[in-house]
């Protein structure tokens, strides 16, 4: 990278939302120069392992479906849930309209998108931190970034996309506000497992303090995650392996999966709360993916939503470059409609579990249900 890089669109964040935006922009207007700045690389574990069946059409739309099918991701033929009762209920993808889903190797998936964006002409800077952003007199954006082991450099852009996840770093610099609806967090452990001993169904199981999720991954790995509110997770000291396992032992179906599994690392905590950004766009910028709105992992829509919002964001940006800013308004309206539908579905699903009415986790969801339905 030279000391000053000029581009039409600068995308902050190289996850699925940012890369979908880059891919779609280059696909529809190869003349636009696109730069993606990614804080990390694609060599460290990333949370988000399940891809629903209907994602195929988005991958086809981004012209990466062929590469995806050759990447060795594990087919997922359905989900099992003990939600509302102790009995498992299966939802088989075989009977759906879109076929099977997939359990992802997330590093490989994100790397595939990045490689495709580079092939399509986007510049991707990994291990690069954004330090500052300034609006210039000519209405361009000037951002200061620093790659690992390097001195700070500057990037000048006509338009900026915030794909920094729940942090929404750039948008908050522009005075956008995050509206947070709960404290949900996930405490996950990666296991080595005999793949023949675990079916390919993703498993969800409720408990007094929240719910558990587990899914088989490629290469004989299994991700198991305890979902609870952040304060409850701290009280239970779930970051301690012994305490995490003690809580897992109180489950039925999840614990059964762990009988022949070996933990590969200590528990890791990640944010999983519902939030939305207000507003999702401003003067020559917009937010995509979790930066615009983040959903409860129960929805299994995180990566789908990221790709979907990136594609529609690209349409709004293309309109903006044509002198049609109304595309940004349409994008914001689409985000708002999607978020309202999600909140109604969220309320309906959490209302199904009635076994622990006095438990703080479930009390809080009950208190939010009417608010969610009313908007």
The verdict on 205 and 263 lying in the same domain is: yes
Domains: count for the chain: 2
In this structure, are strands 141-147 and 153-162 parallel, antiparallel, or unpaired? Answer: antiparallel
Do 23 and 154 lie in a common domain?
Answer: yes
- The reply to whether 194 and 298 lie within a common domain is no
Residues 45 and 133 grouped into a single domain? yes
Specify if 362 maps to a domain: no
- Verify that 143 and 31 share a domain, yes or no: yes
User: Using an 8 Å Cβ cutoff, are 175 and 189 in contact?
Assistant: no
Question: Is residue 193, in this structure, part of any structural domain at all?
Answer: yes
Residue 351 lies in a domain: no
Q: Which residue has the tokens 């087919």?
A: 75
Strands 89-92 and 78-82: antiparallel
Residue 293 and residue 277 share a domain: yes
Please indicate, yes or no, whether residues 31 and 140 belong to a single structural domain of this protein.
yes
Q: Tell me the two tokens of residue 184.
A: 């949900």
Q: Would you say residue 257 lies in a domain?
A: yes
Structure tokens at 158: 């006509």
pLDDT of residue 374: 47
Q: Is the domain of 299 the same as that of 166?
A: yes
Walk along the chain (375 residues) and give the pLDDT tens digit of each residue.
Answer: 558 999 999 999 999 999 999 999 999 999 999 999 999 988 876 666 788 889 999 999 999 999 999 988 888 888 899 999 999 998 865 444 567 888 888 889 999 999 999 999 999 999 999 999 999 999 999 999 999 889 999 999 999 999 999 999 999 999 999 999 999 999 999 999 987 877 888 899 999 999 999 998 888 899 999 999 999 999 999 999 999 999 999 999 999 999 989 999 999 999 999 999 999 999 999 999 999 999 999 988 889 999 999 999 999 999 999 999 999 999 999 999 999 999 999 999 999 999 999 999 999 999 887 655 444
Residue at 36 is within a domain: yes
**Do both 132 and 160 map to the same domain?**
yes
- For residues 207 and 301, membership in a common domain is answered with no
- Residue 243 · residue 213 · CB < 8 Å: no
Can you give the pTM of this predicted structure?
A: 0.93
In a domain, 108, yes or no: yes
Q: Which of 239, 255, 271 is the last residue of a domain?
A: 271
Which of 241, 271, 301 lies at the terminal end of a domain, its last residue? 271
Whether 265 maps to a domain, the answer reads yes
Same domain, 282 and 223: no
Please check whether residue 78 lies inside any domain of the structure.
no
DSSP letters, 194-225, are: -GGGS-SSEEEEEETTEEEEEEEEGGGEEEEE
Contact 3, 154 (CB under 8 A): yes
What is the domain extent for residue 202? 189-271
Which CATH number fits the domain that encloses residue 310?
Answer: 3.50.50.60
pLDDT for 345: 93
Distance CA 99, CA 335 (A): 27
Specify whether 168 is located in the same domain as 128. yes
Question: H-type helices in 180-322, by residue range?
Answer: 230-236, 241-249, 253-257, 302-321
């Amino acid at each position: 990278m030279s000391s000053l890089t000029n581009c039409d669109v600068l995308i902050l964040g190289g996850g699925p939302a940012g890369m979908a935006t880059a891919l779609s922009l280059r696909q529809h207007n190869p003349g636009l120069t696109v730069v993606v700045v990614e804080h990390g690389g694609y060599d460290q574990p990333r949370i988000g392992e399940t891809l629903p069946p209907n994602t195929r059409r988005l991958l086809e739309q981004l012209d990466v479906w062929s590469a995806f099918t050759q990447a060795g991701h594990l087919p997922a033929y359905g989900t099992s849930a003990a939600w509302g009762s102790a009995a498992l209920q299966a939802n088989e993808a075989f009977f759906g309209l879109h076929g099977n889903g997939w359990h992802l190797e997330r590093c490989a998936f994100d790397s595939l998108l990045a490689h495709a964006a580079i092939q399509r002409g986007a510049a991707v800077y990994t291990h690069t931190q954004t330090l500052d952003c300034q609006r210039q007199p000519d209405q361009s954006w000037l951002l200061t970034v620093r790659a690992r082991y390097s001195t700070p450099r500057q990037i000048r852009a006509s338009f900026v996309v915030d794909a920094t996840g729940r942090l929404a770093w750039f948008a908050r610099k522009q005075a956008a506000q995050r509206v947070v609806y709960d404290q949900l967090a996930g405490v996950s452990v990666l296991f080595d497992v005999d793949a023949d001993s675990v079916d390919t169904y993703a498993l969800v199981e409720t408990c007094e303090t929240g719910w558990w999720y587990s899914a088989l991954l490629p290469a004989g790995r299994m991700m198991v995650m305890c979902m609870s509110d952040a304060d409850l997770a701290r009280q239970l000291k779930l970051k301690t392996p012994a305490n995490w396992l003690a809580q897992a032992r109180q489950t039925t179906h999840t614990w059964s999966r762990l009988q022949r599994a070996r933990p590969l690392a200590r528990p890791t905590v990640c944010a999983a709360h519902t939030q939305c950004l207000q507003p999702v766009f401003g003067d020559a910028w917009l937010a995509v993916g979790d930066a615009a709105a983040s959903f409860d992992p129960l929805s299994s829509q995180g990566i789908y939503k990221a790709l979907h919002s990136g594609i529609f964001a690209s349409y709004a940006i293309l309109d903006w470059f044509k002198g049609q800013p109304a595309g940004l308004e349409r994008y914001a309206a689409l985000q708002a409609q999607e978020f309202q539908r999600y909140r109604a579905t969220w309320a309906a699903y959490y209302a199904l579990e009635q076994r622990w009415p006095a438990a703080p986790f479930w009390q809080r969801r009950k208190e939010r249900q009417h608010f969610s339905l009313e908007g």
